[in-house]
């Protein structure tokens, strides 16, 4: 998909703050309000903009203990993979899940209150999932970069 410079700027502005009005965006892009509205609708209809969200401050909601948990399944049978993926979708502490290549099958990003909360999550939820052979957890020391913006 080809984007002109105006589309690129518009997408960057929306990723920075999607609550900007079309009037504010039109001023920043030197376009009419109608032109901005039509560009946004076109990008939404094409699926380039898939949804609008509110990003929460993990510290203020007491979910700032971040764990990257590597998961290895017992086997790579299709039904085991699909079952694990269905079950992990129901774990509210898991904010991201990636099926990966290498020594492990999945990497989960987990946000909890503290180490005790993570231990409770491991004992009562994660290890209750079937077909997990092993886990390996890494704990975030500091956040160097965290962005949702994609630059075109």
Q: In the chain, where are the structural domains located?
A: 5-46, 58-139
Contacting residues for 135 by C-beta, under 8 A, at least 6 apart: 69, 70, 71, 72, 122, 126, 127
User: Rounded to an integer, what distance in angstroms lies between the CA atom of residue 142 and that of residue 95?
Assistant: 18
Q: What is the pLDDT of residue 1?
A: 82
| Residue that has been written with the tokens 């630059």 in this structure | 151
* pTM of the full structure: 0.89
Task: Look at residue 104 in the predicted model and tell me its pLDDT.
Answer: 97
**Each residue of 102-123: pLDDT tens digit?**
999 999 999 999 999 999 999 9
Asked if residue 12 has pLDDT above 90, the reply is yes
CATH 1.10.10 fits 5-46, yes or no: yes
Q: Which residue's structure tokens are 């949804």? A: 51
* pLDDT exceeds cutoff 90 at 63: yes
State the CATH architecture for 58-139: 2-Layer Sandwich (3.30)
Instruction: Compute the C-alpha angle 98/100/104, nearest 5°.
Output: 110
Residues 21-38 pLDDT 10s? 999 999 999 999 999 999
């Amino acid at each position: 998909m080809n984007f002109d410079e105006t589309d690129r700027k518009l997408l960057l502005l929306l990723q920075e703050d999607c609550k900007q009005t079309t009037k504010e965006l039109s001023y920043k892009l030197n376009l009419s309000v109608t032109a901005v509205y039509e560009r946004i609708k076109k990008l939404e209809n094409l699926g380039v903009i898939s949804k609008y969200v509110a990003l929460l401050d993990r510290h203020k909601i007491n979910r700032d203990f971040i764990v990257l948990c590597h998961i290895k399944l017992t086997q790579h049978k299709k039904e085991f993979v699909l079952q694990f993926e269905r079950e992990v979708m129901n774990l509210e502490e898991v904010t991201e899940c990636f099926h990966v290549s290498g020594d492990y099958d999945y990497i989960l990003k987990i946000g909890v209150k503290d180490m005790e909360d993570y231990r409770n999550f491991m004992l009562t939820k994660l290890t209750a999932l079937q077909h997990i052979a092993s886990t390996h957890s890494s704990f975030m020391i500091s956040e160097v970069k965290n962005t949702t913006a994609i630059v075109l």
